Structure 1
Amino acid sequence: MYKRKIYLFGITSGLIMMIALCCTAVSAYLTQINLEQSNTGQTLLAEHQKLSSISYRMFKQLTDELIFGESANQAIIRNKQALIAQSLDKIRRLELQQRQALGSKMTAGSIEDTDELAGLIDAIISEFKAITATYNNTPLDQQNRLQTLLEVKIDNEFREAINAAVVRQGNVVSAINAKIETLNTAIVWFAVGVALFAMPCIILACYWLFNQLYQPLTIINNGTKAIAAGDYHQRLPETLDTEFSQLVSSLNLLASRLADHEMQAEHSRKQLEFEVEQRTREIKQVNEQLTRVDSRRRQFLADVSHELRTPLTIIRGEAQVTLRQSSASEDVYRETLDSILLQAVNLSELVDDLLLLARAELSQLKLDTSRQPLGDFLQNQVSQWQRLHEDRQFTLDIDGSTEALQLKFDQQRLKQVVAIMLDNACKYSAPQSPINVSLKQVDSSACIEIKDFGEGISPADINHIFERFVRFKHKSEGLGLGLAIAKAIIEAHGGEIQVNSTQGEGTLFQIYLPMDVE
């Protein structure tokens, strides 16, 4: 009997232990499933929030692109689009897993709403591209299309869609948590019932579970606190129980992505600081340039005032002196009028030069062009200057390929350019030194070269010789308009002027005129 009782006790205890073990196994299995569903729900919720954050940053960058230029944020926008595509793919995959686990009723609308959200994001991106392509300098706050995109598509439709997805997923998470809570309550009551028959077994089981669960929960708790405190390099160990493996992987992935975002934010901040510093330097350079221009403008006004005052003073003086004479001969009047005429001509030439530069600046310089032989034109100019300066040797070298070359040009204006160049060559070289003029073809342009063997131009001055009102200190006569006028005339012909100079060896001016073929 005692032995039977022992056997009965043993069998009963074995059955109870077997039932307890089976119930524990079932409870653990259900708990694992619920934890996985909870992790999936939490991951989906976090993924929706991340999608919202990335999308709004991308929309902001697309808006910045409209303001600062089409190529300002292209690499960042493509990166954001790739992140959005990855996030949407992950959301669809997790939602499909969640639907298979929880059923269509609990996850109603999740997959369908995600497809609509993806379509809405694509529509917004396409609308941004369309607005960028049709941008017509209309202020951004007055563009109805952009205003509709920002206020309706983004502020209303997209925000409502993402908020609905977050709320829906929050409801799913809440339902899962409620399911877990119900299961936990059933397990507790079942455990209480089992405790009435096998309290020692339950105590031992609880003790074992406590030892098994406390350590990973502590590790996870400490890790999540470190990540929440900003230590994004914190990683949870991958050796925990399988029930926590997905949670650990998600937390480690979250920490890695937060670290990447922090690194990108730091890089963006440094890039912004660099760009601000660069723009500041550019603004300072522009300001210094404007200061120099203003200084030259003031000097020009002073020079023009002086140049205008001198002939006007002479004109007034000649007239006053002649008028004060009680009786003057015809020769006196003629001499006075000749002097006044000379000064008036000088004033007219000065005004003509200023008017030419002003028209050239406004692209309103009109040329009276006709097709003429360029070689004959240069021969006539060199001959005239040789007669004016008999003590100096002028040479003309015409390349064989350009002897019969005819170009369309304004003879008077080009004559003015050649006169300015030859006058400067005479002015800045010794009286007996030669001046060489040559004509050759360079690619599709005719090149007129004027070479002197004078003192040359210093490197500090050569970058400013084509600017208006620039005069070298050792040559103070004139207003410094000659080379500026020559450059304006040649550019009006569609050509350009280049200069090369070596101090002590002379200066070479090259005039390029396009050869048009009709």
Structure 2
Amino acid sequence: MFRLRLSFAFAVLVALVCCQAAFVYWGSNRVNEYAAHSRLTSDILSELLEISANKQRLRVWASQRLMNAEATSAVRDQLLERMRTGAARLDAMSRLHLDSWRKLSSREDIAVPQEVLQLVEISKLLDGNILEVQAQLQDLQPLSPGAEFPNVWRQVAQVFDMTQGRDLRELLNGAIEGQRKAVPIARAATERGLDRLRQQAIAMAIIALVAAVLWALHLRGRLKRPLELLLQGTRALQSGSLEHRIDLASGDEFEVVARHFNQMAAELQQHRQQADEARRRLEDAVQDRTRELQSAHDTLQLLDHRRRQLFVDLSHELRTPATAIRGEAEITLRGGDKPAEEYRHALKRIVGTVQQLTKVIGDLLLIARAEADQLVIQPSPLDLSMLLSEVVEQGEALAALHGAALTCEPVVETVMVRADGDRLRQAVMIVLDNAIRYSRPDGKVRLGCHVAADEVAIVVRDHGIGIGEDELPRVFERFVRGQRARAHRADGSGIGLSIAQAIVKAHRGHIEIQSWPEEGTEVRIVLARLPIHEFEASALQP
């Protein structure tokens, strides 16, 4: 569309140039016509004067001939030839002059001067007059003595001046005088024509200038807004505002450029979004990897800390039994020989200390394996009611030893779990042992089983000394014993609950403790329940 406007503008400019060229061509022709008319008027006057002069020279020649002076025929013929040539030129010029005046009259709306018409008649009379003069002069002889000169001269002058009954001298003089008057008229007409041409040229130039200026202003107005919008768009892209769009509905090539610009900006924005998304993914991946590395580092530090702590715990727990064994042996060997019974009692005490030491070493190794995810269990479908029956049998003897009463809630349905029976029994016995040992004399300990759709909880509840609220978060730490526990009984290593927690976690379960000081403690071991159809399927396998 805009190209069409430009093409139209160029077409208009070319048309104006062509008009100017045509006007210049027409004006130059008009100027030539005016100049030719003026020049023709001057030439006619010159020709009339020349004819009049030649005619006067023939008069002189005729006078000389009559007076028998030197008047040769060659001079006569030359003058006659000049007159015939001048008359022919005058005839042609008079006709051209008449045509020129007629064109000028029709264009300038002026009348043709009467002298122009007379000039055509004079040019026609001259031819006949010249022939008569020629015939008269050829017969002209010098006057004889006694001839009357005035009569002869009158006859010759009559031939020179009169043609077809008209006074050629007066006509010729009148034509000369008329041409003298016509020359200024022709010049004035030429000047008027040239002035009119000049005005028309100025008007034409003004029209072309105004048209060019108006069209330039129109194109400037059409170009200004699209160019400003495009410049704004390029500046916006340069500043990074890829969401910038050009709103241009001009219906021309600028709209096409704006549409392509918007498509380019959208593609750049999409590429930037993709780049940002890739960068974010890379940053997330780096952060994830950093977190993994940090987690691995923390795990290594934790393992190293646990290793050092294990060594500290081992040294702490092994030092006391080793010291007791050494002390018992030194006391036994001190002094002289003793009775065999005393040595036997000393060895029994040493064996008991060694068994205690072995138990502590086994517990520490169990915790170490659990912390290193190396605790080996052999899970299989297990009837929880049978496990609880075995635990009750062991717990009743222990409760009787410490003066406590153990009760068990019966399990009304078959509850199956996938567990290692020995390890799970060990964990339940640790919890039950703590409940019995930290109960008051004649205290009651209750063992039960709460069954849900997909899990089962082994619950041990006592009415013992309880655990303080500030000590409850640390009950699963190794070798940690609360103030109430130390006051109630001095023995104990403080690693039982850590072992129970490790065993339960190995079974993908969890252990929960709620305690109320001086009211008692409730421990829940929660395990996933095995669906009955899985148990039946495993039982059918050989």
What pairs up with 1:181-330 in 2 under 5 angstroms?
Answer: 194=18, 197=21, 200=205, 203-204=209-210, 206-215=212-221, 216-217=223-224, 218-220=227-229, 222-230=231-239, 232=241, 236=246, 238=248, 240=250, 242-252=252-262, 254-255=264-265, 298-330=308-340
Equivalent AA in structure 2 for residue 481 of structure 1: I
Tell whether 2:503 aligns with 1:482. Answer: no
SS at match of 1:311: helix
- CA RMSD of superposed structures (Å): 4.8
Rounded Cα–Cα distance in structure 2 between residues aligned with 1:417 and 1:328:
44
What pairs up with 1:292-371 in 2 under 5 angstroms?
Answer: 298-360=308-370, 361-367=372-378
What are the Cα deviations for residues 146-180 of structure 1, in whole angstroms up to 9, with x where unaligned? xxxxxxxxxxxxxxxxxxxxxxxxxxxxxxxxxxx
**Of 399, 415, 430, which aligns to 1:386?**
399
Moved more, 237-246 or 275-284: 275-284
Rounded Cα–Cα distance in structure 1 between residues aligned with 2:274 and 2:521:
55
Alignment-derived partner of residue 107 in structure 1: none
- Is the 2:409–2:448 Cα contact (8 Å) retained in structure 1? yes
Alignment-derived partner of residue 401 in structure 1: 413
SS at match of 1:327: coil
State the Cα distance separating 1:287 from its structure 2 match.
Answer: 7.8
What are the Cα deviations for residues 404-443 of structure 1, in whole angstroms up to 9, with x where unaligned? x687865544443233112221344433432111135333
Structure 1 residues 262 and 368, CA gap change in structure 2 (3 angstroms): closer
- Is the 2:408–2:447 Cα contact (8 Å) retained in structure 1? yes
Rounded Cα–Cα distance in structure 1 between residues aligned with 2:407 and 2:244:
84
Tell whether 2:398 aligns with 1:422. Answer: no
State the Cα distance separating 1:350 from its structure 2 match.
Answer: 1.3
SS at match of 2:239: coil
Alignment-derived partner of residue 173 in structure 1: none
- Is the 1:356–1:365 Cα contact (8 Å) retained in structure 2? no
State the Cα distance separating 1:348 from its structure 2 match.
Answer: 0.9
- Is the 2:515–2:522 Cα contact (8 Å) retained in structure 1? no
What pairs up with 1:479-518 in 2 under 5 angstroms?
Answer: 479-492=493-506, 494=507, 496-504=509-517, 505-512=519-526, 514-515=529-530, 516-517=535-536, 518=539
Structure 1 residues 239 and 337, CA gap change in structure 2 (3 angstroms): same
Structure 1 residues 290 and 359, CA gap change in structure 2 (3 angstroms): closer
Rounded Cα–Cα distance in structure 2 between residues aligned with 1:290 and 1:462:
28
State the Cα distance separating 1:378 from its structure 2 match.
Answer: 3.5
The percentage of counterpart residues that share the same residue type is 30
Alignment-derived partner of residue 80 in structure 1: none
Structure 1 residues 301 and 194, CA gap change in structure 2 (3 angstroms): farther
Tell whether 2:443 aligns with 1:433. Answer: yes
Structure 1 residues 252 and 455, CA gap change in structure 2 (3 angstroms): farther
SS at match of 1:398: coil
Structure 1 residues 237 and 348, CA gap change in structure 2 (3 angstroms): closer
Rounded Cα–Cα distance in structure 2 between residues aligned with 1:364 and 1:500:
23
Rounded Cα–Cα distance in structure 2 between residues aligned with 1:314 and 1:220:
96
SS at match of 1:400: coil
Structure 1 residues 415 and 274, CA gap change in structure 2 (3 angstroms): closer
Length, aligned pairs only: 338
Rounded Cα–Cα distance in structure 2 between residues aligned with 1:397 and 1:231:
75
Rounded Cα–Cα distance in structure 1 between residues aligned with 2:253 and 2:381:
92
- Is the 2:511–2:525 Cα contact (8 Å) retained in structure 1? yes
TM-score by length of 1: 0.51
Rounded Cα–Cα distance in structure 2 between residues aligned with 1:399 and 1:288:
44
What are the Cα deviations for residues 326-355 of structure 1, in whole angstroms up to 9, with x where unaligned? 423212322332222122111111121122
- Is the 1:449–1:509 Cα contact (8 Å) retained in structure 2? yes
- Is the 1:437–1:450 Cα contact (8 Å) retained in structure 2? yes
State the Cα distance separating 1:462 from its structure 2 match.
Answer: 4.5
Structure 1 residues 255 and 367, CA gap change in structure 2 (3 angstroms): closer
- Is the 1:395–1:436 Cα contact (8 Å) retained in structure 2? yes
Unaligned runs of 5+ in 1: 1-24, 33-183
- Is the 2:450–2:457 Cα contact (8 Å) retained in structure 1? yes
Rounded Cα–Cα distance in structure 1 between residues aligned with 2:332 and 2:2:
129
Tell whether 2:4 aligns with 1:28. Answer: yes
SS at match of 1:454: coil
Rounded Cα–Cα distance in structure 1 between residues aligned with 2:474 and 2:7:
84
Alignment-derived partner of residue 451 in structure 1: 461
Rounded Cα–Cα distance in structure 1 between residues aligned with 2:365 and 2:238:
71
Rounded Cα–Cα distance in structure 2 between residues aligned with 1:371 and 1:260:
60
Equivalent AA in structure 2 for residue 226 of structure 1: R
Structure 1 residues 456 and 260, CA gap change in structure 2 (3 angstroms): farther
TM-score by length of 2: 0.49
Rounded Cα–Cα distance in structure 2 between residues aligned with 1:255 and 1:330:
104
Rounded Cα–Cα distance in structure 2 between residues aligned with 1:212 and 1:28:
14
What are the Cα deviations for residues 47-99 of structure 1, in whole angstroms up to 9, with x where unaligned? xxxxxxxxxxxxxxxxxxxxxxxxxxxxxxxxxxxxxxxxxxxxxxxxxxxxx
Equivalent AA in structure 1 for residue 509 of structure 2: E
Alignment-derived partner of residue 113 in structure 2: none
What are the Cα deviations for residues 96-146 of structure 1, in whole angstroms up to 9, with x where unaligned? xxxxxxxxxxxxxxxxxxxxxxxxxxxxxxxxxxxxxxxxxxxxxxxxxxx
Alignment-derived partner of residue 376 in structure 1: 389
